């Protein structure tokens, strides 16, 4: 027996079920949205904390890298290479330098002035070392140790040439600093340099908890001894370095030194200033007199600098002519007074 449903019986318009289902669906959707929003807020807070920790780590790493040569920390940061006690024997060119007269000057200066002079000197010398690609090993008081050949070598001859070029630039920069310090009342500060080329052990020395990338060997001691023998503004090189650079730089034999810790006498050559020892147009012009300091570095000049330099030189020439006219007039007036007195 079948049951026939009429349209009136199928009418659900006044039923409570559809609104209830709709309300329940909305509640479920709102609960899901609330849960997803809370997760989003949590992820956002975590990402913000992670970004803060990353920025802090980057800031710390940037600060720590100032204590380590870039040739050492860059491979570690880029490739996450392992760091351990390891070294090898390699042919390198080593430079020792310091300031002549600094010890005597330190006895008569305040600690603030002494620190200012030393920091200015180290800043300028470090910039030059970075420009030439040297590994700045360490600062020793007013001295510094640099070397070429590891971890990136351009060949033994080119390493020696780069080292000597760096030393010459340091000597020239010291002339500018000396003029600046002279105006401040500090006299007699000169650089001296010792350079040699030979085999040393270079790499990470120390322990698993503390490492130092440095050089150890007889050649390092030789460079230090040569630096001690050098005079004001002298760059002394050993025979091994001289053989590499003699075709590019004019050198003058100084002496055969008996050095502490070295059995045989060591021949040393002085590297002459290229601007004074060649007949070619020099890339440098340096001349110093009391009240006058001319320092031109054509290597670092840019094309748009020449006009400004010419204008400043013309202004200086006009001032010199004005001062010269004053001197001539003063001499003429003095001469007239003397003539009048004689009459």
Q: Is the residue at 244 inside a domain? A: yes
Q: Identify the pLDDT of residue 199.
A: 93
Which pLDDT score is estimated for 97? 93
Let me know if residue 97 belongs to a domain: yes
Classify residue 62: in a domain, yes or no. no
Q: Are residues 182 and 210 in the same domain?
A: yes
CB 100 within 8 A of CB 191: yes
How does pLDDT run across 38-48, given as a tens digit for each residue?
Answer: 888 888 888 88
Are 197 and 239 spatial neighbours (Cβ–Cβ below 8 Å)? no
The reply to whether 95 and 203 lie within a common domain is yes
- State the pTM of this model: 0.66
| pLDDT for position 84 | 77
Q: To which H or E segment does residue 72 belong?
A: helix 70-79
User: End-to-end CA distance of the chain, in Å?
Assistant: 164
Residues 101 and 181 both lie in one domain: yes
pLDDT of residue 93: 95
Do residues 265 and 203 make contact, with C-beta atoms less than 8 angstroms apart?
no
Q: How many distinct structural domains can be found in the chain?
A: 2
Check whether residue 306 and residue 247 sit in a common domain: no
Distance in angstroms (rounded) separating the CA atoms of residues 34 and 323: 85
Same-domain status, 244 and 140: yes
pLDDT at 106: 77
The answer to whether position 108 is within a domain reads: yes
**pLDDT by residue (tens digit) across 144-181?**
999 999 888 888 999 999 999 999 999 988 888 887 88
Cα dihedral: 76, 82, 86, 91 (round 10): -40
Q: 211 and 158: one domain?
A: yes
Write down which residue in 241, 259, 275 finishes a domain. 275
- Phi first, then psi: give them for residue 234, nearest 5 degrees: -95, 140
Q: Is 44 within the bounds of a domain?
A: no
CB neighbours of residue 275 within 10 Å: 16
Residue 3 belongs to some domain of the structure: no
- Kindly state whether residues 239 and 318 are assigned to the same domain: no
| Of residues 26, 49, 46, the one with CA closest to residue 38 | 46
β-bridge partners, 135: 147
Asked whether 165 and 134 are in contact (CB, 8 A), the reply is: no
CATH code for the domain in which residue 233 is found: 3.30.70.1230
**Same domain assignment for residues 292 and 231:** no
How do residues 4-23 score in pLDDT, each as one tens digit? 545 555 455 556 677 777 77
Q: Is residue 96 part of a domain?
A: yes
pLDDT of residue 280: 47
Residues 221 and 299 in one domain: no
What domain range is 114 assigned to? 86-275
Which tokens hold the place of 113? 């002035």
Same domain, 288 and 268: no
Considering the domain architecture, whether residues 234 and 302 belong to the same structural domain is answered as no
Measured distance CA(305)–CA(318) in Å, rounded = 20
Domain assignment present for residue 173? The answer is: yes
Question: Does residue 211 share a domain with residue 140?
Answer: yes
Listed as ranges, residues in the chain with pLDDT below 70 are 1-16, 64-65, 71, 80-81, 188, 275-290, 299-300, 343
User: Going by DSSP bridges, is the β-strand pair 190-206/235-238 parallel, antiparallel, or unpaired?
Assistant: parallel
Side-chain-side CA neighbours of residue 237 (13 Å): 26
Contact 231, 200 (CB under 8 A): no
């Amino acid at each position: 027996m079948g049951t026939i449903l009429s349209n009136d019986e199928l009418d659900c318009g006044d039923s409570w079920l559809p609104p209830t289902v709709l309300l329940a669906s909305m509640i479920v959707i709102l609960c899901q949205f609330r849960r997803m929003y809370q997760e989003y807020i949590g992820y956002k807070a975590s990402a913000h904390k992670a970004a803060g920790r990353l920025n802090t780590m980057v800031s710390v790493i940037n600060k720590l890298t100032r204590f380590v040569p870039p040739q050492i920390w860059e491979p570690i940061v880029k490739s996450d290479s392992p760091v351990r006690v390891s070294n090898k024997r390699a042919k390198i060119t080593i430079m020792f330098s310091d300031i002549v007269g600094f010890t005597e000057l330190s006895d008569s200066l305040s600690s603030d002035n002494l620190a200012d002079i030393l920091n200015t000197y180290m800043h300028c010398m470090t910039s030059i070392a970075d420009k030439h690609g040297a590994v700045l090993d360490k600062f020793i008081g007013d001295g510094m140790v640099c070397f070429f050949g590891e971890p990136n070598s351009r060949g033994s001859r080119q390493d020696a040439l780069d080292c000597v070029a760096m030393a010459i630039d340091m000597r020239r920069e010291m002339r500018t600093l000396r003029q600046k310090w002279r105006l401040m009342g500090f006299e007699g500060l000169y650089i001296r340099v010792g350079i040699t080329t030979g085999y040393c052990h270079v790499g990470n020395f120390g322990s698993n908890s503390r490492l130092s990338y440095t050089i150890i060997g007889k050649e390092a001691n030789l460079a230090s001894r040569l630096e001690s023998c050098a005079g004001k503004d002298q760059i002394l090189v050993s025979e091994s370095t001289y053989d590499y650079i003699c075709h590019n730089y004019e050198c003058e034999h100084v002496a055969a030194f008996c050095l502490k810790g070295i059995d045989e006498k060591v021949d040393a050559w002085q590297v002459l200033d290229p601007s004074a020892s060649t007949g070619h147009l020099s890339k440098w012009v340096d001349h110093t007199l009391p009240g006058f300091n001319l320092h031109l570095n054509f290597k670092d000049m840019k094309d748009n600098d020449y006009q400004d330099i010419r204008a400043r030189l013309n202004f200086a020439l006009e001032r010199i002519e004005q001062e010269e006219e004053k001197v001539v007039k003063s001499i003429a007036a003095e001469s007239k007074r003397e003539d009048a007195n004689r009459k």
